[in-house]
Amino acid sequence: MGKRDQNRIEQRERILDSARTLFATVGFDQATVADVARAAGVARATVFNYFPSKHALIDAITEEVLSYYGRMLERALEDEHSATPTLLRALFDHMGLGIEQVQQFYRGVFREIAKMQVGLDEGGAASRERELCVGRLSSLMQRGQERGEISRDHTPEDLAYAFDSLSNGTLIHWLYDDPSKSLRDRMGRAIEIFLGGVALTSTERDEVLPDLGEPEAVKPV
């Protein structure tokens, strides 16, 4: 990779870093492209060279968030020792803990994810990343069924979509309805509802959960 290409990559990342910080501190609706450019130390036109609109910025950030979630699912699949219900609890817990800390940032991100769920943003990079996540989640459910930990009454794909809908629905309701209460606690209650219908093995709700995070996690600030 040449120096010019490297500089372009670094400049794009600097713009995205500035956008993440602004969206987390002042909110997606309040931040402008001019604000992003000023924070990144570039001209407004330079931002548009990489991202034709503010929506394109949030789409790129959404892709990063979904990519991080996809890596969480990969680590769950790599964990051959933890029971599937334990891994599903860990996924909900990790999402709840991280999102609870930066509420304003995720309002914008999950607005875009909601659009993808109802088919308003098909074919984009973020949409493709979400499809990969659902595929990995299906594989996790299938492995749980093969181990006798998850009911076979439903297909792995249906279980994955139900899990995905429950997690995103819980997040969105918390973001827009009553964010004063703990999202982590709400996510904990939601996953128990899911497991109550499909888990075949008994695990403790207060068990120590595996860490599915990573040092290089996508950070909004």
Q: Do 116 and 80 share a structural domain?
A: yes
- pLDDT over 80 at 153, yes or no: yes
Q: 207 or 43: which carries more pLDDT confidence?
A: 43
Pure H helices in 51-182: 54-78, 84-101, 103-117, 125-146, 156-176
pLDDT digits (tens, 9 = 90+) for 172-185: 888 888 777 889 99
54, 57, 154, 182 from 60: Cα distances, Å: 10, 5, 34, 28
CB 25 within 8 A of CB 102: no
Amino acid identity of residue 160, one-letter, is A
Provide mean pLDDT across the span 110-119.
62
Q: Do 71 and 44 share a structural domain?
A: no
Coil, strand or helix at 150: strand
Q: Do 46 and 129 share a structural domain?
A: no
Q: Do 125 and 25 share a structural domain?
A: no
Q: Do 87 and 17 share a structural domain?
A: no
Instruction: Using CA atoms of 27, 8, 113, 141 in order, give the dihedral in degrees to the nearest 10.
Output: -130
Name the domain boundary from 52, 69, 88.
52
- Whole-model pTM: value is 0.80
Most confident of 127-136, 145-154, 178-187: 145-154
**pLDDT for res 113:** 64
**pLDDT for res 187:** 94
pLDDT digits (tens, 9 = 90+) for 62-89: 888 888 889 999 999 999 999 999 999 9
Q: Do 112 and 5 share a structural domain?
A: no
CB 200 within 8 A of CB 148: yes
- pLDDT over 50 at 138, yes or no: yes
Share of the chain above pLDDT 70, in %: 86
- Copy the structure tokens of residue 133: 């996540």
Share of the chain above pLDDT 90, in %: 48
Q: Do 217 and 116 share a structural domain?
A: yes
Q: Looking at residue 13, which CATH number applies to its domain?
A: 1.10.10.60
Q: Do 58 and 24 share a structural domain?
A: no
Q: Do 59 and 41 share a structural domain?
A: no
The total domain count for the chain is 2
For residue 132, what are the domain limits? Answer: 54-221
What is d(CA 84, CA 160) in angstroms, rounded to the nearest whole number?
13
**pLDDT for res 216:** 47
Handedness of CA 221, 119, 114, 28 (dihedral sign): positive
The model's confidence at residue 46, banded by pLDDT at 50, 70 and 90, is very high
- Copy the structure tokens of residue 41: 């130390």
Q: Do 201 and 98 share a structural domain?
A: yes
Most confident of 25-34, 101-110, 156-165: 156-165
**pLDDT for res 32:** 92
Q: Do 58 and 30 share a structural domain?
A: no
Q: Do 120 and 23 share a structural domain?
A: no
**pLDDT for res 118:** 56
- pLDDT over 50 at 221, yes or no: no
Q: Looking at residue 127, which CATH number applies to its domain?
A: 1.10.357.10
